[in-house]
Amino acid sequence: MRSLLVALLVAAVLGTLGTLYFWTIRRRKDEALNGVRALSAMRWREFSHFILDAMRHRGYDVLTADDEAERGQQTEFLLARNGERALLGAKHGSAYKLTKQTVGEFVAAMKFQGARSGLLVTPGTIDPDARKHAEEARVELIDGNALWPEIAPLLPQSLSDDVRRDAAQKAKRHVGIAWVGALAVGLIAGWFAAGEAPPAQADLTVLKPKTAQPAAAPAVANASTAAASPATVAGATAAKPQAASPATLVIPITPEEEDLQRAEVVRRVASLTGVYRAVWSTKSTLQVQVDETSTERFDEICT
């Protein structure tokens, strides 16, 4: 259930983000791109006509004679706004690129026409080096992306509808692809979430084996030599682990842990008073050498 929720959440978030991007930001860019292509496909006379209409909507008056503009041979137009002259230059074609040299030539034309500012328009692109030079000379550079929003309302309705329809169809395809990708990523995220789910909790209580009370072994010594030679005492074996209850999980100790326990037993026994030596003769038998054979000494060691 948790993996399914993760998959649905991831798919919904990614799909929504993809829809917002492709249907808003990307669709507008595609509309502008299609519009620029439509402008580039126009004849020069049609293109210049829409450019002049856009300037009129900006508040400029066209000072160039109408017959010259209508002939479609003029590439520069003299404008006026608020008593100030401005020169409009139009460069047709989406492949055209405004460069620093183009701006310099246009500034010279502005001075010749007595214009104090200028507008250089193209459906193409602008070289970054040209912008700084244009700002210093009071020339506004307008490329295809900036030109389309101004000309789009002036175009015939049929042309505008074609541009928007093509962009919308492309956006729908991209949105569909985005949702397919979002579902795929969601499934992968759900699969990882299922693999990382914590296992069911179990009782992991470990029962460590307890050392049983060693049984005292008879000392091998006689009365005449008891005080001079050490006696050997056989230790008791370690008790087996207690049986675990049905609800308890018993985990056996490792050989390394068992060796550590044996070494600890030897250390503790050897530290007792009167013990000369303590050593495991077998895995279950501890030999202890003491300096006396009394039963009290055996009881002290075994407890």
In a domain, 218, yes or no: no
Contact 261, 210 (CB under 8 A): no
Q: Which of 141, 171, 201 is where one domain is finished?
A: 171
- Mean pLDDT (the chain) is 78
Q: What is the mean pLDDT of residues 197-206?
A: 47
Cα–Cα distance, 264 to 257 (Å, whole number): 11
pLDDT (tens digit per residue) in 44-88: 888 888 999 999 999 999 987 655 555 555 688 999 999 999 999
- 31 and 136 share one domain: yes
Q: What percent of the chain has pLDDT over 70?
A: 73
pLDDT (tens digit per residue) in 101-124: 999 999 999 999 999 999 999 988
Give the pLDDT of residue 20: 94
Q: Looking at the 3D structure of the chain, how many domains does it have?
A: 2
- 130 and 246 share one domain: no
In a domain, 18, yes or no: yes
- 32 and 164 share one domain: yes
Strand partners, 78: 87
The top-scoring range by mean pLDDT among 17-31, 185-199, 247-261 is: 17-31
Cα–Cα distance, 15 to 8 (Å, whole number): 10
- 236 and 108 share one domain: no
Domain that includes residue 265, residue range: 231-302
CATH number at residue 36: 3.40.1350.10
Which of these, 3, 24, 13, lies nearest to 182 by C-alpha position? 13
- 72 conformational bin, left if phi > 0, alpha if psi -120 to 50, beta if neither: left
Give the pLDDT of residue 251: 64
Give the pLDDT of residue 22: 92
In a domain, 196, yes or no: no
Q: Amino acid identity of 119?
A: L
Asked if residue 229 has pLDDT above 50, the reply is: no
Q: Which of 154, 171, 188 is where one domain is finished?
A: 171
pLDDT (tens digit per residue) in 135-170: 989 999 999 889 888 998 988 888 888 888 998 999
Buried/exposed code over 105-122 (b: 16+ C-beta within 10 A; e: otherwise) = ebbeebeeeebeebbbbb
In a domain, 243, yes or no: yes
- 140 and 13 share one domain: yes
More reliable by pLDDT, 218 or 295: 295
Cα–Cα distance, 123 to 107 (Å, whole number): 20
- 28 and 100 share one domain: yes
Cα–Cα distance, 17 to 12 (Å, whole number): 9
